[in-house]
Each structure stands twice: as structure tokens, then as C-alpha cells.
Amino acid sequence: MTTTPSTPSVGRPLTRLEGEAKVTGLAPYAYEYALTDPLYLGPVLSTVARGRVSAVDTARAEELPGVRAVLTPANAERLADTEDREFAVLQSDEVSFRGQFVAAVVADTPETAREAAGLVDVAYETLAHDVTLTADHPRLYRPEEVNTGVEADTEQGDPDAALARAAVVVDRTYRTPMEHNNPMEPHTTVALWDEGGGRLTLYDSTQGAHPVRHTVAGVFGLDPERVRVVAPYVGGGFGSKGSAHAHNVLAAMAARAVPGRPVKFALTRQQMFSLVGYRTPTIQRLRLGADRDGRLDAVVHDVVEQTSKIKEFAEQSGVCTRMMYAAPHRRTTHRLAPLDAPIPFWMRAPGEAPGMYALESAMDELAHECGVDPVELRLRNEPPVDPSTGEPWSDRALVRCLREGAERFGWHGRDPAPGARREGDWLVGTGVASAMYPHMVNPGSVAEIRYGEDRRYHVGIGAADIGTGALTALTQIAADALGRPLSEVVVSIGDTDLPEASVAGGSSGTTSWGAALVAAARVFRAEHGEAPAPGASARGTAPEDTATPGYSQYSFGAHFVEARVHADTGEIRVPRMLGLFSVGRVVNPRTARSQFLGGMVMGLSMALYEQSVVDPAFGHVVNHDLAQYHVAVHADVSGLEADWLEGEDPHAGPLGSRGVGEIGIVGTAAAVANACHHATGVRVRNLPLTPDLFL
């Protein structure tokens, strides 16, 4: 940036530019586009977990007035690419999990579609199924790699020997349950083929228009240019919308069966519990070997998780332990049990969220064993360089987050003895945990800038704003990169007709797309100067090495929690949470703070409530709605404070910023569990922390 206007836009706490359109109902979500003569899709989901569809009787459904088509494995079109079995919708009679698509109805109204779907009579040949994860599952295997493309197992030094000679050993197993993404807006797609059948448009609720285009184009054997995905407004996304799923394919197939008519398909809340991914349950064994002062000599983190038999997803839960603390001897492993279960996928901070729950719980147990303050224990194990790579840290500020967070929270002076503080019927305790999240940057996003007749800079990039404030942040970044006031910049996102952009995932969006905006602004200013003629335009691409190579780049944070556990009922209340984070430069303090708070509330939710209960007899999630799948609500949150260290990361990219979307949920559940232990003396090693476990 050669010049910036006297008042830079980056760093200002702007409200969301699209906020008014959203709250007044003017911003269309995927289901709401006013299309001509839409039809509606009603899916039929398998009622067995494993087997074969032996017969489908569609007669009663077809007789219902208003039914336009019934798709079954027998009549559905053959897809071009069926290798990824998540997308091989209706391509065979095989049933691989309960809740899989086995048929679909297209009808004039959503009510008719739903009724007709209920009239499709599916007969099954049922086979024995296995939907239960156990630590010694007979089919456990080591995946080739885990999510984010890193190795499944690592080993440094001789951890077994180090554990054998350690003065203090913590050897504990922690469990986290299956959890489901529940964005306010369910996964929704509206599919429309053009008259010739050669071009497909999807109005989709997604974290990545271009990624959905590439997947759907591949499945249908189309040039990606022939698939347009439109998603400017999205009602929340926590990872499950980071990829296309089977419903996109089904809607597109259904629309092809009714030429010229758009087909609208919004999954119900219940249907989302089998079709769009979930956080795998985990069984994590942590072994820490330390001296009596709590200095780690060995760390071993062995992870067992589940995946689906038809598609592998390996959550990287042990990866955080590779870099978090100094210890010369360490090992991390991941093993998967392939089950007759739906396909797991991303859910906010996949890997770090469950992994740091286990590691930070074990660290609290070690502090207790050694009689060392839990904050001090972490300071004693601070690694000078990344222990997994030997690289220098770009900006490791964990110590500051812990120290300054402890001051602000009023940590010091606590009686370390569990169960020492009682106020009336409530046992009161405090807990701490570290947070971390890798600085992820996706290369290759492209931005275009065109100077309009209206004397404004029109910036286009196919990025996604899932409710985070990305559009606002990108407008701030573009304004500064162009050296113009905010009022002269209009950014458009969420459409594959705009230049290619990476997924809104891994907390990478602002950095990755922002780098493209900065690159495009540089080109524009070099080519057209500061007084461009209307019509002037330029494009720029985010470079491969947006982040400086050779540095280990992570965001860090510290969570401090006060918990109260009722002495008679075990009810848990969390009156105070403080998260202090280090994320480099903050582009928009208002929306960033909102991300931290949202992550912390989701972490509280993970600690106290979230749990998908699978019925082993039938293989489905029993509590598949928001009445029974509990999430933290306003009444659960009282004193909630999120803040960050000022500064920028000189190696993070042109903005000096790292992601803010996911770190808020990392470590939070451990801080809550540690506070509950401090309050009661009861150490619960599985989530969620239900009241009965404290009695």
C-alpha cells in the first residue's frame, strides 16, 4: 500500500454492511430467491443402517396430485463420477448408513413433496451394522494422513523410556461425543438447469461457492464454467457448509428430471443429522511425563475416532500436541474405526477443539499432581521454537495471554485445593486452559477491481460471508489497499461469476481473500494511477507465499473460567468467562470480538450440552433436533469477555492478521471442566459435563 486515506478503514469497528438488509428481510437466503414456477424436493431417507434397497413402490406417491417426479435408484440418472461415494446419490441399491438418500419426490409444494415422500414404500434387505466406536475396535486402522493433509503419526525421541523414568506421570483417557453443526439456516440448495440442460445454477447455503462448483461439476461431468453457484448471504456455517454434500447432487438430479423448473431443497433440522457431516466422537489417551516441578519430558497423545465406511474423514485431534509445549520426547497417533455411520466432517476447529480439550485437561491434572499453579505449569513448558519443526515462531504470545489474562480475571490468590470454596449451596472454582489455532492461508484467490461510472471502485471476489462480517472486513481491506474512503468501495462476494475464491474455512478467509484484494489493488494503481477513468479494471491473485515461509505461525489464547456446581443437584453455572487472544492485526474489532464470543459460547456449549446420541440398534441420532440436541443459549451466558493483544504478525501476510473464527472454541471446554474440578474435586474426563457426573 503506497498511500492510505487519512483515516484507514482497517481497525475500525464498523457494523456489518449487509446488516440492515439481513434484519429487514431484504437479503435473500438460498431458499428465498423469487424464481419462476419452483418445485420442491422431498427426500426419502434410509431407515436401516446397512443393507440393500430391495424394492421401491412409488405408485401411491405418483398418484398424489402435484407430484411431478419420483427418483429412485432404478430410474435416477447415472452420474459421471461416482468415486466419492458421498456424492454417488441413488447410484446403487446399497445402504451405507441410516439417513442416506434412497429416493426423492419432486412436487408443486413443499407440503405435497413431504407427504409424497412419506408414501414412497421402500423395502430393504437388512445386514448387520456397526455404529459403535470403541477404543479397541477390531477394525481400527491408521489413515494415510489426517485433516489438513498432515501425517497421522509422529514420534520424536523415546517417549516410552521417558515415561518409564518420569517422576510424575499423568495417564488419562478423555472422551468427546459426536456433535452436530447447527447453523440457524439449514443446508439449502435450489437447482435450476437451463433449457438445453447444459448449464446448472445452484442457489446454495455454502461456505464456498467455488468449491461447491468444482465438486458438483465433477460429479455431473461438466466443465466447471457450466456450473454457477450463488451464495451472497448465508445463515451461519461452522464447517459443515465447507463442502458440497449429497443434497446438492440430489437437487441437481431432481431438477434435471423436470426441465426448465427450479427445484428447491431445504434439509430439515432432523435431516441435517445424517447428511452434512458431524464432529467425530473421540477417545484420546494422554500420557504426560514430567519432573516434580511439572517440566515435561514426554507427551504422548493417542487418538481413536470413527469414520464412515464409504468415505474417510480423519479429524486431526492429536496434531495440537505436536507443537503446544516443550518436551523432548513425544508421540502422536490417530486411528480410525470405519463404521456404518454417516460421514464425519468439519465442525468449528476440527482437530483442535477436541484435541485441546484432552491436552489442556491433562495439563490441569499434571498441575494438580505436581502442586504447581496451572498457569505457571504452562509457562514452565513454553517451547522457544516450534518443537515439531524447529522453526522460529512468528508471533507466539501464549505467555502474554496467560499472564495478562490471569491478571484481568483475578486468577491469583485462589486456593488451589479443590472443593475449598462454597457459597451457599454452590461450590465455586476457577479453571484455565490454553488456546491455539494454526494460521491457515489458502493460496490462489483472485480479485477484480473495476472503476465505475458512479466513481466507485467495484471489487469482486467469490468469497463467502457466513455471518462473520467477511464482506465488511473485505471492504475495509480493499478501501485501504486502494487508498480510498470506504464510501467509494463496493465489494461483491458469494457468486462463481466472480473470480475464484477459497473456502471460508480454517479461519483463513480474511487473510486469503484479503491478500487477493491487496494484490489486485496494487495492479490497479500501477496501471491506472490514483485518478482512473471509468471502466478501468485490473485483477490480482493472492500469492502462493502469502505467509512468510520458514516461520511457525499460530494464534494463541488463554481461557479463564469461573464455574459454580450446585452441591445437591450438580447443576453447573458459568458466571464468568474471559478469553484473551493473540491473532495479529484485527481488521474489524466489532466483528472479530463477535467471532471470539461466538467461539467461546460454542465452547461452553461443547462443555455442558452438546452430544449426539446414537441408538446402536438402529444407527440414527435420537436427539436430532434443537429440542433435544442442546446448545448453550442466552440464559447460560452471563459474564463473557473476549479481548486480544494489540499488534500485528509481520509474517502472516500483507494484513499482518491471523484468523479469528475458530480459536474461541479451542481449549474452552477444558477450562470449564478444570473449573468444575476445582469447584468440586470431581474430575470428569468425558464431555459433556452433565450434572449427574458431579454427584
Least distance from C-beta 313 to ligand MOS, angstroms?
12
Residue 350 touches ligand MOS, criterion: CB under 6 A: yes
Nearer to ligand MOS, 373 or 662 (CB): 662
- Binding span for ligand MOS by CB under 6 A among 12-20, 70-78, 91-99, 234-242: 234-242
Pick one of 283, 347, 372, 401: the residue that binds ligand MOS (CB under 6 A). Answer: 347
Site residues for ligand MOS, 278-307, by CB under 6 A, read none
- Binding span for ligand MOS by CB under 6 A among 158-166, 260-268, 345-353, 619-627: 345-353
Q: Tell me how far apart the alpha carbons of residues 390 and 383 are, in angstroms, rounded to a whole number.
A: 10
Peptide bond just before 28 cis, omega within 30 deg = no
Residue 603 touches ligand MOS, criterion: CB under 6 A: no
Closest CA to 509 of 302, 104, 141, 237: 237
Give the CA angle between residues 159, 163, 164 to the nearest 5°: 120
The DSSP code for 576 is E
- Binding span for ligand MOS by CB under 6 A among 41-49, 208-216, 346-354, 448-456: 346-354
Residue 438 touches ligand MOS, criterion: CB under 6 A: no
Least distance from C-beta 241 to ligand MOS, angstroms?
7
Nearer to ligand MOS, 113 or 606 (CB): 606
Site residues for ligand MOS, 612-671, by CB under 6 A, read 662
- Binding span for ligand MOS by CB under 6 A among 10-18, 41-49, 321-329, 340-348: 340-348
Least distance from C-beta 208 to ligand MOS, angstroms?
9
Nearer to ligand MOS, 58 or 280 (CB): 280
Residue 429 touches ligand MOS, criterion: CB under 6 A: no
Q: Tell me how far apart the alpha carbons of residues 361 and 555 are, in angstroms, rounded to a whole number.
A: 20
Total site size for ligand MOS, rule CB under 6 A: 11
Nearer to ligand MOS, 325 or 554 (CB): 554
Site residues for ligand MOS, 498-517, by CB under 6 A, read 505-506
Closest CA to 286 of 214, 201, 231, 356: 356
Q: Tell me how far apart the alpha carbons of residues 448 and 146 are, in angstroms, rounded to a whole number.
A: 35
Closest CA to 600 of 638, 565, 629: 638
Least distance from C-beta 501 to ligand MOS, angstroms?
14
Nearer to ligand MOS, 367 or 660 (CB): 660
Q: Tell me how far apart the alpha carbons of residues 63 and 579 are, in angstroms, rounded to a whole number.
A: 59
Q: Tell me how far apart the alpha carbons of residues 584 and 436 are, in angstroms, rounded to a whole number.
A: 13
Q: Tell me how far apart the alpha carbons of residues 444 and 438 are, in angstroms, rounded to a whole number.
A: 19
Task: Extract the C-alpha cell encoding 97.
Answer: 448408513
Least distance from C-beta 347 to ligand MOS, angstroms?
6
Pick one of 16, 50, 129, 348: the residue that binds ligand MOS (CB under 6 A). Answer: 348
Contact present, 152 and 78 (Cβ < 8 Å): no
Contact present, 554 and 367 (Cβ < 8 Å): no
Instruction: Choose, from 360, 365, 500, 662, the residue flagged as catalytic.
Output: 662
Contact present, 398 and 200 (Cβ < 8 Å): no
Q: Tell me how far apart the alpha carbons of residues 422 and 311 are, in angstroms, rounded to a whole number.
A: 50
Residue 239 touches ligand MOS, criterion: CB under 6 A: yes
Q: Tell me how far apart the alpha carbons of residues 683 and 173 are, in angstroms, rounded to a whole number.
A: 12
Give the CA angle between residues 533, 535, 541 to the nearest 5°: 105
Using CB under 6 A as the criterion, what x/- string covers residues 189-228 for binding ligand MOS?
------------------x---------------------
Least distance from C-beta 276 to ligand MOS, angstroms?
12
- CA dihedral angle for residue 666, residue 667, residue 668, residue 673, rounded to 10 degrees: 150
Bridging pattern class, strands 263-266 and 188-193: antiparallel
Least distance from C-beta 466 to ligand MOS, angstroms?
8
Give the CA angle between residues 566, 571, 577 to the nearest 5°: 90
Instruction: For 158-261, list the strands marked E by DSSP.
Output: 168-176, 188-193, 200-204, 227-230
Residue 354 touches ligand MOS, criterion: CB under 6 A: no
Least distance from C-beta 504 to ligand MOS, angstroms?
7
Residue 599 touches ligand MOS, criterion: CB under 6 A: no
Contact present, 616 and 131 (Cβ < 8 Å): yes
- Binding span for ligand MOS by CB under 6 A among 2-10, 36-44, 124-132, 237-245: 237-245
- Binding span for ligand MOS by CB under 6 A among 92-100, 142-150, 235-243, 428-436: 235-243
Least distance from C-beta 207 to ligand MOS, angstroms?
6
Q: Which residue is nearest to ligand MOS (CB)?
A: 239
Instruction: For 108-256, list the strands marked E by DSSP.
Output: 121-126, 145-146, 150-151, 154-156, 168-176, 188-193, 200-204, 227-230
Nearer to ligand MOS, 49 or 353 (CB): 353
Q: Is 662 marked active-site?
A: yes
Q: Tell me how far apart the alpha carbons of residues 553 and 596 are, in angstroms, rounded to a whole number.
A: 19
Q: What residues act catalytically?
A: 662
Interface residues with ligand MOS (CB under 6 A) are 207, 238-239, 242, 346-348, 350, 505-506, 662
